[in-house]
Amino acid sequence: MKNTTTILALAAALLIAGPTIARADSLLMKRVQQEKGMNLPKKGMSMDQVERQFGAPTTKLDPRGGDTPKHPVIHRWEYPGYIVYFERSHVVHTVLNTPAGNNTNPAAAK
């Protein structure tokens, strides 16, 4: 009886969350497609290359990590419309500042 109740509760939660998950996936796919069409810093570029090609960032946010070898220092540079994430001194990802990406206030990120 307990297993049946658990399964029913899980099924109900999935039915409720299903549309939300599908919407989030759709928003992420749209953002990824938008990023592909833009001229953004590419993975592997050095900080010097990014600054030469895209100019100085609006803000260089405080670095995070670096407390152990498994957690390298992550630097974040904010540009109008996107943020560039560096692992040590090379780009690992560039993310658009969009409400769908929950990336509208990167300075508040912990």
What is the spatial distance between Cα 94 and Cα 6, in angstroms, rounded to a whole number?
41
C-beta neighbour count of 7 within 10 angstroms: 10
- pLDDT digit string (tens) for 72-95? 999 999 999 999 999 999 999 999
29 with 54, same domain: the answer is no
Extract the tokens encoding 12.
């109900």
- Whether residue 100 sits in one domain with residue 57: yes
pLDDT, one tens digit per residue, over 33-52 is: 666 668 999 999 999 999 99
Residues 59 and 28 in one domain: no
- Kindly state whether residues 15 and 61 are assigned to the same domain: no
Overall number of domains in the chain: 2
Question: What angle is formed at CA 51 by the lines to CA 42 and CA 79, rounded to 5 degrees?
Answer: 75
Residues 29 and 83 both lie in one domain: no
Residue 49: give the domain boundaries.
Answer: 40-110
Could you tell me the two tokens for 59?
């803000």
Q: What is the pTM of this model?
A: 0.63
